[in-house]
Amino acid sequence: MDGAKFAELRIDGKAFNFPIIIGSEGEKAIDISNLRKETGYITLDPSFANTGACCSEITYIDGERGILRYRGIPIEELAEKRLFIEVAYLLLHGNLPDENQYKQFSILLNEHSLLHEDMRHLFDGFPRGSHPMHIMSTMLNSMATFYPNVDTLSLSEDIDVTATRLISTFRTMAAFAYKKSIGQPPVYPRPDLTYCANFLNMMFDSPVNPYTIDAEIVEVMNLLFILYADHEQNCSTTTVRTIGSAQVNLYATISAGVSALSGPLHGGANQAVIEMLSKIRSGGYSVDQFIEMAKNKNNPVKLMGFGHRVYKNYDPRAKIIKEATVRILKKLDIKDTLLDIAMELESKALSDSYFVERKLYPNVDFYSGILYRALGFPTNMFTVLFALGRLPGWIAHWKEMVSDKNSKIVRPRQIYTGRTLTHLK
């Protein structure tokens, strides 16, 4: 980074200089950390669309050109050539693991794959039909009671052990939550299976209907988790950094990230896309009517799975998922009319001036739900799958933040617009 240049700000005829920061890919920022101290002014940027909250070495996005890289490596290369746990290691440690590091990481993941047995009883307390994202955030929060001393000040174990336990047990917890929701006994993790194969087996194996592990399905699960693994300062990652900045324990911090992700404008969009496509299929609306509704500013309806705060081009993840969806549906010989509707929606929206002018393209969630359905996942598990993939990213950001000696508690300011001094009568 280069801090040698300055931006000049003039207020009431007086000039102030603020350092210009340039990132390794040329992104430019004005460092206004001393703005209030020097000028008495603050910046106002609701939703933080123009605010850089930190410098980070983890993920690079160029939204105009549709570029996504983890630790400098293009997402397309990682998705094609690597396993999810290698990518998780890359995000957490900065480099892809060598043979020995991979072996050690796999051993740790296996050792920490079991849930504390007493946690199983907690599942019994949730009402029938509870959304698995709510169950997941509650279960994560409870982990600090089973594995205490995980706040940053009293962290009595290595951060990497806690991180590995989270990545491993989250998968077990997600499968247990699903099994509980359908009234089946939980399936325990197996040491002979890889991360994704183990997850699929815990989800779909049953004492009366053994699950057959298919290498191509395991591969696509790896691909999906890799695509979701990080996306720099999105809403849930910002939540993780914000909560973590108060030195809250890592489990509660990640639980907050899961809650943020559950919203339909964020990770919940993959479920909302399927609900939207199903409504169109059941005759609720035609594709054209839905597009008109999404364009109407008096109607709160949006074209779910379209648009992105950062991408003003085709989301590179959506491209890869669309291709995988077509391939897997063909392999499994599934004819899903939701895919036809999605393709028609995409093609009509991309040639409609409303979407073209606003640079609204399919995002990561537009096709993912159709693929999850084909793999056998129920709709309410889609966002849990997103969370499973995003976990290494959240932890990597938390780790980067707590290791930064200059990081402080997050505390934005405001411009007060309420009543001026008003005395009681």
CB of 118 to ligand ACO, least distance (A): 34
Query: By CB under 6 A, how many residues form the interface with ligand ACO?
Result: 18
- Asked if residue 241 binds ligand ACO (CB under 6 A), the reply is no
Of the pair 147, 394, the CB lying nearest ligand ACO is at: 394
Q: Which of 365, 397, 404, 423 is catalytic?
A: 365
Of the pair 109, 364, the CB lying nearest ligand ACO is at: 364
Dist CA 251 CA 353 (whole Å): 45
**Phi and psi dihedrals of 405, rounded to 5?**
-65, -20
CB of 326 to ligand ACO, least distance (A): 20
Whose CB is nearest to ligand ACO? 307
Dist CA 236 CA 346 (whole Å): 27
Dist CA 16 CA 310 (whole Å): 30
- Asked if residue 107 binds ligand ACO (CB under 6 A), the reply is no
Of the pair 89, 306, the CB lying nearest ligand ACO is at: 306
DSSP labels, 44-102: --GGGTT------SSEEEETTTTEEEETTEEHHHHHHH--HHHHHHHHHHSS---HHHH
Of the pair 187, 291, the CB lying nearest ligand ACO is at: 291
- Asked if residue 308 binds ligand ACO (CB under 6 A), the reply is yes
Dist CA 412 CA 221 (whole Å): 39
Give the DSSP H/E element, type plus range, for residue 30: strand 28-30
Q: Are 262 and 424 in contact (CB under 8 A)?
A: no
Of the pair 145, 296, the CB lying nearest ligand ACO is at: 296
3-state DSSP assignment of residue 16: strand
Q: Which stretch in 195-203, 300-308, 376-384, 416-424 sits in contact with ligand ACO by CB under 6 A?
A: 300-308
DSSP labels, 300-352: ----TTB--SS-SS--HHHHHHHHHHHHHHHHTT---HHHHHHHHHHHHHHTS
- Asked if residue 309 binds ligand ACO (CB under 6 A), the reply is yes
Q: Which stretch in 215-223, 238-246, 305-313, 393-401 sits in contact with ligand ACO by CB under 6 A?
A: 305-313
- Asked if residue 400 binds ligand ACO (CB under 6 A), the reply is no
- Pair of tokens at residue 195: 């991360």
- Asked if residue 274 binds ligand ACO (CB under 6 A), the reply is no
3-state DSSP assignment of residue 7: strand
Q: Using CB under 6 A, which of 205, 230, 365, 400 touches ligand ACO?
A: 365
- Asked if residue 90 binds ligand ACO (CB under 6 A), the reply is no
- Asked if residue 229 binds ligand ACO (CB under 6 A), the reply is no
Within 276-295, which residues bind ligand ACO (CB under 6 A)?
A: 294
Of the pair 18, 311, the CB lying nearest ligand ACO is at: 311
Letters for 345-364 (x = contact with ligand ACO by CB under 6 A, - = none) are -------------x-x--xx
Please report where in the chains the tokens 């559950």 appear, as a residue: 262
Q: Using CB under 6 A, which of 132, 244, 257, 267 touches ligand ACO?
A: 267
Q: Which amino acid is at 303?
A: L
Cβ contacts of 416 within 8 Å, gap of 6 or more: none
Dist CA 83 CA 85 (whole Å): 6
- Asked if residue 269 binds ligand ACO (CB under 6 A), the reply is yes
Nearest one of 336, 361, 332 to 349, comparing CA atoms: 361
- Asked if residue 341 binds ligand ACO (CB under 6 A), the reply is no
- Asked if residue 266 binds ligand ACO (CB under 6 A), the reply is yes
CB of 390 to ligand ACO, least distance (A): 9
- In a 13 Å sphere around the CA of 368, the CA atoms on its Cβ side amount to 32
**Phi and psi dihedrals of 161, rounded to 5?**
-70, -45
CB of 404 to ligand ACO, least distance (A): 25
Q: Which of 230, 308, 315, 397 is catalytic?
A: 308
308 part of the active site: yes
- Asked if residue 303 binds ligand ACO (CB under 6 A), the reply is yes
Length of the chain: 425
- Asked if residue 306 binds ligand ACO (CB under 6 A), the reply is yes
Q: Using CB under 6 A, which of 11, 265, 334, 356 touches ligand ACO?
A: 265
Give me the long-range contacts of 286-293 (CB less than 8 A, separation at least 24): 287/341, 287/344, 287/345, 287/348, 288/348, 290/345, 291/345, 291/348, 291/349, 291/352
- Asked if residue 316 binds ligand ACO (CB under 6 A), the reply is no
Residues that bind ligand ACO (CB under 6 A): 265-267, 269, 294, 302-309, 358, 360, 363-365
Active site residues: 308, 365
